[in-house]
Structure formats: C-alpha cells, structure tokens
Structure 1
Amino acid sequence: MNHTMKHLAVAALLAGTTLSAGAQTATRESVPKGWHTRDLQTDGLYGISVDKAYDFLKNKKSTPVIVAVIDSGIDTAHEDLRPVLWRNAKEIPGNGKDDDGNGYVDDIYGWNFLGGKDGRNVGKDSDEASRVYHKYKDRFEKLTDSASLSSIDRFHYASWKRAKEQVAGGEPTDAMQMMMLRRTFQMVSKGDSLLQKGIGKATYTGKELDEYKPDSEELRRSRQAFLYFFTANNLMEMSNKELLEEFKAEIDKEEAKAEAGTKAPKAYRAEIVKDNYEDINDRYYGNADVMASDSRHGTHVSGIIGAVRNNGKGMDGVADNVKIMMVRAVPDGDEHDKDVALAIRYAVDNGAKVINMSFGKGYSPEKNWVDDAVKYAASKGVLLVHAAGNDGENLDKEFNYPSSMLLDSSYAPNWITVGASGDPKGGGLVAYFSNFGKKEVDLFAPGVAIYATLPGGNKYGNLQGTSMASPVVAGVAALVKSYYPSLTPQQIKYVLENSVTKPAIEGKNPETQQAAPLSELSVTGGVINAYEAVRLADQVSSGKVSVPGNTANGKKAF
C-alpha cells in the first residue's frame, strides 16, 4: 500500500498516462476557499459550522492550548502562523545552550528529530516495507517454526512475511507502471516547456493554466494533459514547477520500491542523525531546525489548525487560542518509529494537550516504542488525532500505523482516527482516496480542496488528503479544550464523536465506488461539527451529560 500523504496519488498519476487529445480532464473544483469551515444550513456546504461555534462561545473565556504538529516542518516566518507559534520561554534563542535542561539545545519552536548536529536534515527517505524486509531477512528467511518465538518476535515475523510478499513478490505490473510513469513525466515536462512559451512566463499556477486559451493544437494537447494533474488532485493554486517536483519525487520513490527486492534501501536517516537507533533511550539527537528543507506539508496542516483568525490575511484556522509546536519527524518517505515515539514524548513533556499526526505507513517494527509513548500521552491528559490514510482501503482489514490498537490488542482511549470528507459540489461526500473502516475510523472531516498556509511567508493554496482532515479535527479538539479546559482527552473524544453531523445523503465507498452511508464507513457515521461539539462540551463540562468510563468506542482500552 502507498501510505504517503505528502505527494500526489499514484493512481491519479497513472490515470494521466491514458490521456489523449480526446480525453476528458477531471472535474474542476467548485467549492469556495475555506468551504470546510462553512455551515450546511446557511451556506449549503458540508463544512463544520465554525462561525456558529464562535457565536455560541462569544461570551465565554478561553485559555491557550498548545497543539503539537508532528510533521515535515513549518514556515516559522509565515504571516498567518508567526503570531501563533509556540515559543519555549525557558530557552534563549541561538546561544547554543540547553537553557531549560530538557536535553534539546535551542528548541525555540519545537524540535527536529530528523536533523544532524552538523545542521544537515533528512529530506528523502525509504519506505518501511523495504526496511522491514531487509532488516529481518537473514533471521527469518529459513525459519520453519514460529511457535517458539516471543510475542514481539511473532509480530516481527508476521510483518516480515507481509513485507516479503510486497517487496520481493515480483508483481508483473510494477515494470509496466514504472514505464508509464516515466513516459507520462517526460510527456508532461515537454508540454510544460511549450506552455511556458505559450503563456509567456516560466512559472504559472493550475488556475492560470485553466484560464489559458492555446492558439495551436500542440499547445491545446499539452494544456489538457498537464491540467489533468492539477484538477485531479485539486491543486489549482500550485505552480507548474512545484507540481513537477512532486511528480518526480513520486517516481523516485516508486523506483526505489521496485529495486527493494534485491537491494537494501539506503540509510538516509542514519547518515545524518547518527544516533543509536536500536536504543530508545538514546533520545537527545536532532537539531532545532523545524523549517528544514520541505515544510510544505506541515505548514499547511498547521494553518488548518490555528492560522490567525479574522486578520484579513489568507484564511482562518479552526481554533482561535492555540500555540502551534512543530515536532519534525516526517521525511519524504516513511517515518521511523523511534522518531515518532520521541516526538510524542517531546510534545507531551513540553505542554501539548493535542497532537496532530498526519502521516502513516503499513509497517511498524518498533511499535512497542510508539505504544509506550501513546500510553504516556494518555497518562498526561493528551489527545492524539491521526489521519486515516489515502489508499482508499478498509482499515478494518488493512494495516495502517501508528494505530490506536496496541500490541496487546487493547485500544488507546485518547486517540481519534480521521477519514476525509468532501462536498457534493466538489467531488462527493466521501473523498475518493480516503481510507475508511466501520470499526477503525472514528469520524470524517473535510479533506478535499482545503485552502491553507503554504511556505513563502504569505502564500496559500489547496491541498487534499486525510492529512488535511486530521488537523480539522485537531483544531476542533483544541477549540473545545480551550473553552472547557477541565475536559479530559476521553471526554473530548466523546464530545467530538457524539456531535457529528450525520448526512442525509450517501457517499461512495472509496474501495468499491458503490453508494454507502457514512455509518458503514466509520464508527460514528458522521462528519465533525464544531458548533455541535462546543454545545455538547458545555453540557459535559457542566455535568448535565455524563461520559462513560475509560473506553475506546466500546473496545477494550488499556
């Protein structure tokens, strides 16, 4: 499975290879900027009713809430984020000392667990399936009886067998797909060169390409082929150069996967970070550069949660009294479990009460470390919000990590898994790419054509994915916590899940593309609603509504 949330969907890229002069481009976005905050009754859009929530809260006081974003990085100079960044008041900027004694030098805005002491940062990285396959190959290749293995080794053995089938299975379509991807990239790159001359500038957006009227058949074909990728991914605000970079990165990653059956992946992280990866107690590595080389994903996620509201710039975040802490642990590739576990612990130890995790992968060799960090977060009253993933698959049957189910089969009661919804005007109620699960995905939130902050100081644009849906939920959680600070993570989880909007219309099952109610695709059968959430939070906080004990959607909690 492709669990990447940072780049274009491979399915959309491959679909583009079938384009011809007579092919139809994807449906253009038809929802307004910021549609995800709107209200169904007043605006006719399947948003989360943010303005109604603030009307309800207007005479109430709020307290600041720290929201940690475990992600790729953040633009600390962005006009809409700079005022809401968490700042470590105990640390003196740039003096090269660990002033607060927490083990992390100059951690002003958070920490980068993908950095080296020499200032370098991990950008590109390998996929976890390849790492698991090669890590355990010598140990498990000739194993005939797994009964004598310990429980953790049986978990590793089962993971290795899955990885072997995926990495070394030799699917006959892989070579054909790679050839199609390369040809498509060459075609689009050539077309881009022609379009630059036709449009009259080297850099243009998808919106500008959409408005461009070619004066030759060659330019018309080039426009149609390239425009497909902008429209299919709802990235009309992205530039041609950025889109081609995303496309090339996806090809590079797929090529690395194709080689993984015979060649161990390059140790990108180890070459830079230089920790003892096998020791979870070797935790004081990395650097303070939370912006790093590619902060696009994390900047967008952060803006959805808490970009300054009502300042007349760009867009408004969901929560109005938050401080965004960036903890960099997500490379261009699959994250490492140690970094995720320590990122959670860093966020908890430095005061975060909500943690957003817009990343995922199909394997978790050090899941015990992550599980311990999840339990630690629960013990400190911290809510974890996780994106369900963009594979269009059923998580009741497939693997997606990190996960709320721990190795002992208990469930984390402080965890919410989020699928991506849309609006019927902009492609459908359920995002075609979203993972789902009647048991494993708690609720849906807007994740299609979400307009938010991008790196560059004053830039904004649309991205989509469950990566965008998760921070919508994290923003509502922070909003609730801000106005009702006494609520526990379990109570906030109850509030969010028992106040969802249950649409009268059906969506489509992303796997089968058959009509299905949200109740068949998630636990709650609904889309998060900020207004109903704060109303219910008010009742829970006042004692009018009681919340059941330490449960996780009726499943055994730790």
Structure 2
Amino acid sequence: MLTRILSLTVLCSLSVSACTKRDAASDSLMEGLLLASAGAGAFCGLSSDGIAMAGEVLLDVTSSSPSLIEELKARDSSLAIISSGSGLLRVQTERSSEWFKGIRGVRSAQRNFVYHMQATPDDALYADLSWPALIAAPAVWDQRSDCSSVVIAVIDSGIGLGHSEFAGRLWTNSGEIPDNGIDDDGNGFADDVHGWDFIEDDATPDDRYGHGTHVAGLIGAAGNNGDGVTGICWNARIMVLKVFDAAGLTTTDRVVRALDYAVENGASVINLSLGGTGGANGDLTYGALERARSSDVLVIAAAGNEGRDNDIEPFFPASYDLDNIIAVASSSSADGISSFSNYGAVSVDMAAPGESVLSTFPFLNGKTDFEAFDSIQDWRHVSASWRVEEVDAVDKRLCGLSDPSGAGSRYTANSDSMAFRQYDPEGEGPVRVSFLAKIDTEPLHDRFEVLWGTGSSAPQNLLTYATGPRFQTVGWIQYSFLIEESGPIQLGFRLKSNSSVEAEGVTVSALSLSRQNDVSAYKRMSGTSMATPLVAGAAALLRSADPSCPYLDIKNALLAGGRPAPAFAGKSGTGRILDLPGAAANGGTCLFP
C-alpha cells in the first residue's frame, strides 16, 4: 500500500493547490524535478543555486564575541543568533548574505546549504550483488585486509555503536577519559571517545537513521569472522561523525565542523556519502576541504543520485575543484551506469558498484501501520481548519487550511490549528514515523509543526517545523523521525500564522508508523552513497600499506588502476570502475600490497 501511495503522491504537480486533484499533463512535466527533490527535507527553500535553510545565513567570523553579536543586532534588531562554534556564526535573518560582507569581524557570509543522503532503500526484488567479485577484492585480501594503521572518518548519520560488526573497529581517542564530562585532550569536545554527534552536540554519535551504519559497514565491517558481512577493510579504525538529523538532512555548518574535527584528530581518509546542489568553489565547505588537502587527507564524495550530468549542474561537495577529492558514480553489476547515478566527464572521477549492496544496519522495523486518512473524525482537532481530501480510491490526504473551499484556498491570518490522534504500533521499542508533506507558509512568520506526546491531551513536544514556500518550489518532502517512547503516542500536525501574509497551508500524505528494534541487522541499499565507501575503503587499504604515501599518489593509483568500462567513456574522467588489484599495481613509489 505504501509503495502505491508514494508513487501517486511524489509525482503530483506543483502547479495545483495543496489539497486538490492532480493534473496528468502537469505530472508528466514535473516528474523529473520532484523525484530529484522529494527527499530534500525541512526548513529549506529551493532556488537556482541550490537548496538552503530558509531565513538563515552562515558567517565565517574571526570571533563570535559579544561585541560582534552586539554590532550585528545594532545594525538589525530582528536578527537572531541560532548557534555558534568552530569560527561559524549561524544567524536567522531576512537579510541576504551580501548584507553581512564588509562588517568587521566577518570574513565571509553565505547561505546555509542543505545536503542529503545519496542512498535509496532496496528490497528482495533486486538481484543479488557481490561487490567483492566486481572489484576483485579477494586478490588483494590474500595480501592485505587490515586498515587499522589509518583513521577513516565517516561523516554521516552516525553508526550503530552496538552493532557486532564494529566491535573493536571504531577509532578511539586515546587522549580522552570516557564519561567523565571533561575535555581531557583540550580539543573542544568532552568525552569524544569515538567521534562526535554534531546534531545533539554530544559524544554519542549513534545512528537512528541507518544510512551511516550501512556506509561504514562497506568500509570496515568485521571480516573473516564467520558472521554477517565484511567491509573492504576486515579490520579498521572508523571515526564516527554524525551530521544528519532525524529527517535525514544536514547543513553546511555541521559538515564544516565535522570536516575540521576529522582533520584535526588524525583522519587520513574521509567518506562523504552526501551532497546537494548548493555550493561554489571558495565557499565554507570548500575551505574545510582545502584544509583537509593541506593536511594530506583524501576525501571520497558521492556524485549524487539525480541521474544527471554534474558538468552542467554541479553537485557539492563532489564537484569542488580540489585534487584531494574523488567523485564517485554508481555502476551496475554489468558495468553499466546505474539509472539513478550522476555522471560527468570532468566532474566525476570514477565509478564503483552501488546497486543492491548488502551491508550493516542498526535496527529492524516491526509491523508497519499505514494511516488511511479515512475520515477527519478519526482526528482530534482544535479548529475546523483541518480536513481529509480523497484524491482517488487509494490516495487520501490530511490538509491544513482555514478555508477548505478547494483550489486556491488559503489559510487565514492569526490562526493556530492542530490535528492529532493516538497511535500504538505493534511490538516493542521506539516509534519510527514517516510521512510526506507539502508546505506553503509565509517565510519566518508562519509555520508548520510536527509534535508528539503521551497521554490524552494535545501533543506538545516539537519534532520539527518548516516555514516558507516549500509547496511551490520543492513539492513533496519526505520526513522520518524516531520517537523514543515504548508506549502509545499522540502525533499532531499544527499550522500557525501571524496577522499578515496568508498562503496555501500544508498537506500530509503516506503516513506510516512502526516500532524500531535495535539489533545487529543487515540491509540492501542502492545509491552513490554505497559506491563511495567502497572507494574510501580501497583508499584506506592502500594507505594502510604505506601510511607515508601522499594523498595524490593514492588517488592516482585508484583512478589509473580502475577497470575500463565502455558505459563510462565520456561519462567520467577515467571511464573506469574501481578495481582493487589494479589500484595496488599502480602505486608508483608507494609500497602497496
């Protein structure tokens, strides 16, 4: 049922009101855009230069001192400081980034770009894929399989820290005493034993999404232990840096902080299975990657999953013009270009297997409950502005409008309405909530909120909020949250507006809930997110054989040693697919296995 609902809603036209039927001709025209952007997530608007957080500017400052903050607020009293750290100041403002340039203490200013994961879930309908054979890994494993002499940073959604495949295979900060609440090594992060969580700003980068665990398993899941799967590195030291939130999104400020942490704490290979269209050479992420280059760090980045040419529309960070980056496309089991994979004769370097890849996963979901949206009477609501609209026999949606009159209807000013109901999915463990939403609100002032709670009253715990004209620019947004509650929950959707501009409101569709059980699980996924860690693992394996080998020699060995693939001729810089023996044979003066 869910697959059917998704196929109907994701292709919905952007030109119609949030709660009206679709136009078939518009569906056809908009299909490519919506499939590329449906997972873009909350808080951001889409423009010609990429997705960024609405109403936010990221400042690179000499110091986030009170005097600078006071000067900024003196210039604009409506400006608000969201966060600061690592030389970055994140502010909420209606000003453009250009407005901040020239202010003393501000080195640069830019929009806070959004990155998303580059993976797609897989299932048993996909043919089995054996990536070790495709990259000829066993021929090298006979000589070397231990990468523990180097540190590999995985900047992602975290790792399932309790997964059996990672026991003894995580980087350990020897300068830190665990759980004493003190920054023993003076690096600015207390108790950062295995890495850092840049979402919660703590030392427990556990994975509640799954993407990072899957990526890390391809690099360093335990090998030759008679259990589960293996990574390219049978033994590894993986630094865990969590930057993705519960909706599967991250932003420039988090990625920059994670990159700097990785470099400053000894990583020599960094995996970035993420990206977005926002960015430019010389921006803040570029600067962090350039600092990595100066420290002899090799960065492996996903080329993206939009099936387009990155030479025409760059995809960052893979498209930055830095020679310490390897941009990786996805290849099929037949050495073809995966249908979802981005490519580029100049901007993409090589490919690696990325379809139906089996790897580690931190949890299993129990039985899934699907919300049918049969009647608004199933929902408790604080005003009459919420309703259910039936698009067709299987597609119904919950709509938040103060005037539910149909096409072109808009919510009214000074409204505050909520629809909520109780759920108690079968099984044990926390509740995984997923849904699609279309959002159109006045930027900064009006907002859509997702809330949860327990008991019988309206929920008050905020999961996330969104503001801005998402309906016109992005279309359906995929949300996914984990609620740490083992009993029944109240789930609510709220629409709030001020006294000025009104817009079209919000629509919720494809709502599902299930219990999430933490286990040492495995899952098949596809994407350039899966191809990227195979190259990162290969880079770590080569570098572990000769840690003094410069990053550029490692990169050249991987590119020159790839297996030629006609499908990639003119589609990547090398036209080659990762081949581990070929890379090992192209080390030049470096001593590879």
Given the two structures, how large is their TM-score scaled by the length of structure 1?
0.55
The answer to whether the aligner puts 1:449 opposite 2:449 as a matched pair is: no
Q: Which residue matches 1:327?
A: 241
Within 5 Å, which residues of 2 pair with 1:489-504?
489-503=551-565
- Post-superposition Cα deviations, 1:116-168, rounded to whole Å, max 9, x if no partner, equal xxxxxxxxxxxxxxxxxxxxxxxxxxxxxxxxxxxxxxxxxxxxxxxxxxxxx
Q: Which residue matches 1:383?
A: 298
- Post-superposition Cα deviations, 1:268-305, rounded to whole Å, max 9, x if no partner, equal xxxxxxxxxxxxxxxxxx211201532x0000000000
Deviation at 1:393, TM superposition (A): 0.6
Q: Which residue matches 1:5?
A: 117
Instruction: Identify the match of residue 536 of structure 2 among 449, 460, 474.
Output: 474
Which residue identity does 2:297 align to in structure 1? V
Which residue identity does 1:468 align to in structure 2? M
Q: Which residue matches 2:54?
A: none
Deviation at 1:56, TM superposition (A): 4.2
The answer to whether the aligner puts 1:485 opposite 2:550 as a matched pair is: no
Instruction: Identify the match of residue 137 of structure 2 among 50, 55, 59.
Output: 50
Q: Which residue matches 1:169?
A: none
Q: Matches of 1:108 and 1:367 in 2, distance apart?
A: 32
Q: Which residue matches 1:541?
A: 590
Q: Matches of 1:57 and 1:342 in 2, distance apart?
A: 33
Aligned residues: 324
Within 5 Å, which residues of 2 pair with 1:35-46?
35-38=130-133
Aligned in 2, Cα 1:85/1:57: closer, same or farther, shift over 3 Å?
Answer: closer
Deviation at 1:62, TM superposition (A): 6.6
Instruction: Identify the match of residue 573 of structure 2 among 515, 520, 523.
Output: 523
Deviation at 1:404, TM superposition (A): 4.3
Deviation at 1:64, TM superposition (A): 1.3
Within 5 Å, which residues of 2 pair with 1:128-143?
none
CA contact (8 A) 1:114 1:329 kept: yes
Residue 470 of structure 1 aligns to a residue whose secondary structure is helix
State the percentage of identical aligned residues. Answer: 35
Q: Which residue matches 2:184?
A: 99
Which residue identity does 1:521 align to in structure 2? K
Deviation at 1:439, TM superposition (A): 0.6
Q: Which residue matches 2:273?
A: 358
Q: Which residue matches 1:421?
A: 331
Q: Which residue matches 1:113?
A: 198
Report which stretch shifted further, 489-498 or 358-367.
Answer: 358-367
Which residue identity does 1:422 align to in structure 2? S
Q: Matches of 1:79 and 1:373 in 2, distance apart?
A: 33
Aligned in 2, Cα 1:329/1:365: closer, same or farther, shift over 3 Å?
Answer: farther
Q: Matches of 2:268 and 2:260 in 1, distance apart?
A: 12
Deviation at 1:355, TM superposition (A): 0.2
Greater RCO, 1 or 2 (C-alpha within 8 Å, sep 6+): 1
CA contact (8 A) 2:213 2:360 kept: yes
Deviation at 1:313, TM superposition (A): 1.3
Q: Which residue matches 2:174?
A: 89
CA contact (8 A) 1:70 1:329 kept: yes
Q: Which residue matches 1:225?
A: none
CA contact (8 A) 2:119 2:305 kept: no
Residue 65 of structure 1 aligns to a residue whose secondary structure is coil
List, as ranges, runs of 4+ consecutive aligned residues in structure 1 with deviation greater than 4 Å. 6-9
Task: Give structure 1 stretches of 5+ with no counterpart.
Answer: 13-25, 39-46, 116-285, 406-410, 507-516, 544-558
The answer to whether the aligner puts 1:302 opposite 2:216 as a matched pair is: yes
CA contact (8 A) 1:110 1:325 kept: yes
CA contact (8 A) 2:354 2:530 kept: yes
Aligned in 2, Cα 1:7/1:334: closer, same or farther, shift over 3 Å?
Answer: same
Q: Which has the higher helix share?
A: 1
CA RMSD, Structure 1 to Structure 2 (Å): 2.3
Q: Matches of 1:310 and 1:403 in 2, distance apart?
A: 33
Deviation at 1:540, TM superposition (A): 3.1
Q: Matches of 1:366 and 1:526 in 2, distance apart?
A: 26
The structure with the larger Rg is 2
Q: Which residue matches 1:64?
A: 149
Q: Which residue matches 1:311?
A: 225
Q: Matches of 2:250 and 2:557 in 1, distance apart?
A: 31
Aligned in 2, Cα 1:8/1:536: closer, same or farther, shift over 3 Å?
Answer: closer
Deviation at 1:79, TM superposition (A): 0.4
CA contact (8 A) 2:356 2:524 kept: yes
- Post-superposition Cα deviations, 1:420-446, rounded to whole Å, max 9, x if no partner, equal 01113xxx6221100000110100001
Q: Matches of 1:522 and 1:528 in 2, distance apart?
A: 12
Which residue identity does 2:329 align to in structure 1? G
CA contact (8 A) 1:37 1:51 kept: yes
Which residue identity does 1:37 align to in structure 2? P
Q: Which residue matches 2:91?
A: none
Deviation at 1:402, TM superposition (A): 1.8
Which residue identity does 2:117 align to in structure 1? M
Residue 564 of structure 2 aligns to a residue whose secondary structure is coil
Residue 458 of structure 1 aligns to a residue whose secondary structure is strand
Residue 154 of structure 2 aligns to a residue whose secondary structure is strand
Q: Matches of 1:27 and 1:459 in 2, distance apart?
A: 15
Which residue identity does 2:533 align to in structure 1? P
Q: Matches of 1:310 and 1:8 in 2, distance apart?
A: 28
Within 5 Å, which residues of 2 pair with 1:26-425?
28-32=125-129, 35-38=130-133, 47-57=134-144, 64-115=149-200, 286-291=201-206, 293-294=208-209, 296-331=210-245, 332-364=247-279, 368-405=283-320, 411-424=321-334
CA contact (8 A) 2:269 2:297 kept: yes
Task: Give structure 2 stretches of 5+ with no counterpart.
Answer: 1-35, 41-115, 363-517
Residue 377 of structure 1 aligns to a residue whose secondary structure is helix
Deviation at 1:65, TM superposition (A): 1.1
Q: Matches of 1:465 and 1:534 in 2, distance apart?
A: 25
Deviation at 1:338, TM superposition (A): 1.3
Deviation at 1:307, TM superposition (A): 0.6
Aligned in 2, Cα 1:397/1:365: closer, same or farther, shift over 3 Å?
Answer: closer
Given the two structures, how large is their TM-score scaled by the length of structure 2?
0.52
